[in-house]
């Protein structure tokens, strides 16, 4: 299993790395890339359109401010896309949240909290665990661990 962890800028790496780390904890390969919907639209379109054939099972997209990355990716694939609004700018991520969550009917993007990369990865794991009992057991263990004593 392979999940793309995409971000709009190298500056987003610190906030998106927890998604890759969380996926790795479940033995899911994370392909981490910087791809801007504004600076590299053709590359983003090509990657998203060929994601299924390239072996991806889901895509996690983090971007700030206008935050079009998740929407552009979702427009070009029917794989699950999870958007992570990144904090920053004058509105500290609220603008990215609105940009990510306000998708038109037919182009869904599951959206987590601002800087919610861990939850984005866990949401992907939950989707994959629907048909994978081994992954479900790992997810159950993780949930118990996070709950504490």
Ordered per-residue pLDDT tens for the chain, 149 residues: 899 999 999 999 999 999 999 999 999 999 999 999 999 999 999 999 999 999 999 999 999 988 999 999 999 999 999 999 999 988 999 999 999 999 999 999 999 999 999 999 999 999 999 999 999 999 999 999 999 88
Domain count, the chain: 1
Cα 119 from Cα 126, distance rounded (Å): 10
pLDDT at 39: 93
Q: Which domain holds residue 28?
A: 2-147
Smallest CA-to-CA distance from 115 within 146, 91, 82, 93 is with 93
pLDDT at 49: 98
Q: In this structure, what CATH number is given to the domain that contains residue 58?
A: 3.40.50.1970
Smallest CA-to-CA distance from 129 within 116, 144, 140 is with 140
Cα 32 from Cα 97, distance rounded (Å): 21
């Amino acid at each position: 299993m392979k999940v793309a962890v995409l971000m709009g800028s190298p500056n987003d790496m610190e906030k998106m790395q927890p998604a890759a780390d969380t996926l790795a904890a479940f033995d899911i390969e994370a392909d981490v890339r910087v791809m801007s919907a504004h600076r590299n639209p053709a590359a983003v379109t090509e990657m998203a359109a060929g994601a299924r054939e390239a072996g991806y099972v889901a895509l996690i997209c983090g971007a700030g401010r206008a935050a079009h990355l998740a929407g552009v990716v979702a427009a070009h694939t029917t794989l699950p896309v999870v958007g992570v609004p990144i904090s920053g700018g004058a509105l500290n991520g609220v603008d990215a949240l609105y940009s990510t969550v306000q998708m038109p009917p037919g182009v869904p993007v599951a959206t987590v909290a601002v800087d919610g990369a861990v939850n984005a990865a866990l949401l992907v794991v939950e989707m994959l665990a629907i048909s994978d009992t081994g992954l479900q057991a790992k997810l159950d263990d993780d949930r118990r661990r996070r709950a504490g004593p």
